């Protein structure tokens, strides 16, 4: 069942045209990985879908609630973890706090942070902050989750714990669109991969087609560059990148 349809989306910032006619569909339970170089329009596309940016033209049809997780956590620094999670359900959805807190506790358990309930963001690692951000987005009970480079601010060890949470959501059939530079993760988790370049979707296909042995020259060049950058980062950090478990 189709739950999201984007048709000929155009977006510009002043003279710069960032999206140049993007078409995208997502079906219930599907995991879509958005890949491509920085500046290709991935983040802008996600922000347009959730309504944080207004497109100049095109159509977005979505009849189900959306949630989004950003690169930089965006937690309220003066509120505890539990307060970060219950605020939106209480204020936006008019949920009673007595209902919102058990939901928040369940979500903290889902992301492995039940022991951080009363902690403040300044007391958390980057990976923990991002897991709280995921739980906060889930507290609004979305049917589609958008992830905008959720591990870009993290080192490899913290990246792994965040990607594991996202992989667990995929196993629960959550519909997701994930902008990412983690190619191994995308290959393991995505049903479909979309390669963006210069404001358009240049190529798309199954994860194996796109990331296993791609035929498109520009995609091959992009993947080679990503591989070199990740190899250099792994050597520097001395840690392995995420590998999805077979469980």
| pLDDT tens track for 39-75 | 999 999 999 999 999 999 999 999 899 999 998 888 9
* Residue written as token pair 């928040």: 104
Query: Per residue in 1-37, is it b (16+ CB within 10 Å) or e — as a string?
Result: eebbebeebbbeeeeeebbeebebebeeebbbbbbbb
Please, what is the angle between helix 81-91 and helix 97-110, to 10°?
130
* pLDDT tens digits along 140-164: 999 999 999 998 878 888 888 899 9
Q: End-to-end alpha-carbon separation of the chain, Å?
A: 27
pTM: 0.89
190 within 8 A of 159, measured Cβ to Cβ? no
Residue 181: HSE in the Cβ half-sphere, 13 Å Cα cutoff: 23
* pLDDT tens digits along 155-195: 888 888 899 999 999 999 999 999 999 999 999 999 999 99
106 within 8 A of 82, measured Cβ to Cβ? no
| Domains along the sequence of the chain with CATH | 1-64+144-221+230-247 (3.40.50.300), 74-142 (no CATH)
* Residue written as token pair 């798309």: 204
How many angstroms separate the CA atoms of 24 and 73, rounded? 26
């Amino acid at each position: 069942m189709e739950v999201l349809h984007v048709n000929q989306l155009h977006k510009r910032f002043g003279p710069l045209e960032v999206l140049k006619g993007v078409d995208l569909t997502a079906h219930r339970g599907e995991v879509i990985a958005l890949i491509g170089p920085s500046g290709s329009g991935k983040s802008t596309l996600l922000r347009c879908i959730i309504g944080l940016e207004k497109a100049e033209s095109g159509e977005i049809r979505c009849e189900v609630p959306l949630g989004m997780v950003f690169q930089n956590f965006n937690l309220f620094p003066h509120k505890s973890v539990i307060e970060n999670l219950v605020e939106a359900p209480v204020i936006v959805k008019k949920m009673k706090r007595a209902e919102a807190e058990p939901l928040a506790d369940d979500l903290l358990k889902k992301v492995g942070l039940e022991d951080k309930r009363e902690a403040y963001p300044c007391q958390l690692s980057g990976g923990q902050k991002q897991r709280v951000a995921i739980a906060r987005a889930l507290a609004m009970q979305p049917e589609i989750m958008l992830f905008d480079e959720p591990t870009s601010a993290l080192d490899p060890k913290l990246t792994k714990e965040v990607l594991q949470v996202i992989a667990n959501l995929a196993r629960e059939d959550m519909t997701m669109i994930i902008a990412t530079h983690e190619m191994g993760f995308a290959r393991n988790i995505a049903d479909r991969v979309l390669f963006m370049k210069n404001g358009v979707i240049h190529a798309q296909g199954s994860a194996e087609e796109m990331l296993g042995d791609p035929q498109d020259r520009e995609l091959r060049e992009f993947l080679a560059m990503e591989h070199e950058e990740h190899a250099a980062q792994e050597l520097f950090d001395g840690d392995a990148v995420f590998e999805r478990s077979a469980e």
